[in-house]
Chains A and B, each alone.
Chain A
């Protein structure tokens, strides 16, 4: 397990900040700095800064790039304007998810894909295989060359212009970073070097993700922390990132998503555009969308006081095990046990009483409407 864990360009910064570092997807990453609950609430109430440099980036460019990506990914890339970003999925022929990702379009024939750390090698191998038949498309794995941070929380728009100043040079044309709207991306400058700045995130709050050359990351992190100080900005680790995304019901690869699970089953069918022409996995996904999937990912909440639900705990309905928890935690916002689980499609209705088996005992829970938490501040 400990064989050569990779370190992000911010590793020394995390050590100095007293972070607890743990293995995650082959990387040695900060799970927390102060406490998961503190950092979670900082992001809900003010601002938090995450190192997400472990995530991978792939550049796709050239005259054939749009057509290539439209076949590779489930969402309709033709609806993505220059300067826009889109959540999408990469599926195999069986409709199973190879990865879920964000695709940005900084230029007319220029795309940037942000992919999961644990999936970089699989994704890139799949993309190369698919590209063999695509003319005029250039692929480039930029994962080692680029780092990224996520600045998240309702107060981040108040100081983003102090972090990344000036007008955009590419992507969406804005006079200042705070003018970007949700999912828009702009190219800006930091210390004379180009950075991508997108208004997006994985916490359910307003916020920004900044992607830049690895060697810029330490200076960028220190600069953002200094600018955010007066706005109660805190560094936040993967622990809070996980509780925040669970409250927002965002799937996590390896938990809600894998190569044997489709986007329809996972509840992200909204990002599968069946009307855009053929794409990998389309036949299976079209059939599932029409007939309804055999199993479905639901959100559930513990109804009595109990231990928090955890991944792989059994889900019971009417004295039968019907599925398994994929993500679970104690929600810092709701102060209750929450989670996501796969259950048979016909039982996947809000209000359905279920039980979660915790250390041999069943505790009552109820299927609820997604998400658990919706920000009152989100743009």
Chain B
């Protein structure tokens, strides 16, 4: 199985991706993760304004078979959530790096981004 791993993103071992722009990080789950979960039917997102620590569970994604926690790879405050995926969870399967994003965080510790996995290292982790 070949997974799409965009070269301009950073990755968490728990299969989230992070796109950094200024002091804001956008977070979603990887193509590999959506493929493993399959048939996503429900997404629960954190409240805007919530402060999260790196590694904290703050969203839930449910497939037909199971519920899985989604962890914030970085610390900060939730500034926006993607209401479109709440209405149409299948977007996570169809466009995991695009319209299937989950939430945005204003980084409180921007240096954390440097300890996330590079595309190459994430690829090695999933055996791509």
Contact = CB atoms under 8 A, between A and B. Distances in A.
Interface of A: 18, 31-32, 35-37, 239, 243, 306-308, 310, 329-330, 332, 359
Interface of B: 1, 38-39, 41-42, 44, 60, 62-65, 67
Contacts of B64: 36-37, 239, 243, 308, 329-330, 332
Given A31-B65, A36-B64, A359-B60, A306 B42 contact: yes
B39 A35 contact: yes
Given A36-B64, A243-B64, A307 B39 contact: no
A308 B41 contact: yes
User: Which 6 A-B pairs have CB atoms at the shortest separation, nearest pair first?
Assistant: A330-B41, A37-B39, A35-B38, A36-B64, A307-B42, A35-B39
A112 B107 CA distance: 65
A310 B67 contact: yes
Contacts of A359: 44, 60
A32 B38 contact: yes
A24 to B, nearest CB: 12
A35 B39 CA distance: 7
A307 B65 contact: no
15 contacts: A31-B65, A36-B38, A36-B63, A36-B64, A36-B65, A239-B64, A306-B42, A307-B60, A308-B41, A308-B62, A310-B67, A330-B42, A330-B62, A330-B64, A332-B64
A239 B60 CA distance: 20
Contact of B42 (A36, A239, A243, A308): A308
B123 to A, nearest CB: 20
Nearest to B39: A37
A143 B1 CA distance: 35
Contacts of B44: 307, 359
A177 B1 CA distance: 39
Contact of B39 (A36, A306, A310): A36
A223 B60 CA distance: 42
A239 B41 CA distance: 15
A243 B41 CA distance: 13
A310 B64 CA distance: 10
A190 B64 CA distance: 37
Given A37-B64, A330-B62, A359-B60, 10 more contacts: A18-B1, A31-B65, A36-B38, A36-B65, A37-B39, A307-B42, A307-B60, A307-B67, A308-B41, A330-B64
Nearest to A330: B41
